[in-house]
Amino acid sequence: MNIKLIALDMDGTLLNEKKEISEANRKAIRDAEARGIHVVISTGRSMATLRDLAKSLSLSSYLVTVNGSEIWDEHGELVERSIVHNDLMTWMFDLSKTHKTGYWATSTERVFFNEMPEDLSTYQWLKFGYEIEDDKARETILKELRSRGEFEITNSSPTNLEVNAIGINKAKGIEKVCALLGITMENVMACGDSMNDLAMIKEAGLGVAMGNAQEIVKEAADWVTLSNDEDGVAEAIKKYVL
């Protein structure tokens, strides 16, 4: 396979359960970059919660953050941003209050956990998330979100829902990066574990699911590697790139 770009999710993929990047994963990434391969972090995290981890990797390529809502270049400059309008954020916030769920909200400046500013219009918003342990309540909220037809709905764990602007996902973010680099999705190996990785795993030339991935992700992938606690990213890079 002619892999020119490796797209890596962070939580549950590149990071182990201690939220650390193993030395084996770091070495595999360095070796791939030494061969001229672009290594792109593609995550649900915001730049604020990703910056230190990304710096520790010393990557020389783009970052796709907040499930594709933002794309950053190798100098840390913003390339593109897609926002969720304030009225939709207010509606989603009200929905969480109605169903008494845990929630978080990502703005361009910070992430709010189980709290929101008094005036939502003072921020630009990128994503709203629900944390819902009860399966029935989660299904009810999912139906309400879908009925609006204005959202891209995924998850980063089986108990949450992540909501971006419609049409925004990691695959679209990686496609944009590919266009900037003059390559195609056929040249991409994408690794992930959750629903917010599904689009990029399906659309990449090679889609890799982690051993700890949700079943729907494993079913969509071309190959299943080891878990995030077993250096699954390094295993995939060694097998298909090195």
Domain range summary for the chain, segments of one domain joined by +: 5-81+169-240, 86-165
**Residues in the chain where the model's pLDDT stays below 70:** none
Where do we find the tokens 């590697």?
225
Structure confidence by residue, pLDDT tens digits, 75-95? 999 999 999 999 999 999 999
Catalytic residue among 9, 11, 193, 231: 9
- The model carries a pTM of 0.97
CATH superfamily of 5-81+169-240: HAD superfamily/HAD-like (3.40.50.1000)
What is the arrangement of strands in the sheet containing 160-165, beginning at the earlier edge strand? 111-113, 102-107, 125-131, 160-165, 151-154
With a pLDDT cut of 90, the percent of the chain lying above it is: 99
Annotated catalytic residue 9: yes
Asked if CATH classification 3.30.1240.10 holds for the domain at 86-165, the reply, yes or no, is yes
Runs of H (alpha helix) within the chain: 23-34, 47-57, 86-99, 135-148, 170-181, 198-203, 215-220, 232-240
Residue 100 in tokens: 């008494």
Q: Hey, what's the torsion of the CAs at 224, 219, 214, 126, to 10 degrees?
A: 100
pLDDT reported for residue 1 = 82
Structure confidence by residue, pLDDT tens digits, 134-184? 999 999 999 999 999 999 999 999 999 999 999 999 999 999 999 999 999
Q: Read off φ and ψ for residue 164, nearest 5 degrees.
A: -115, 175
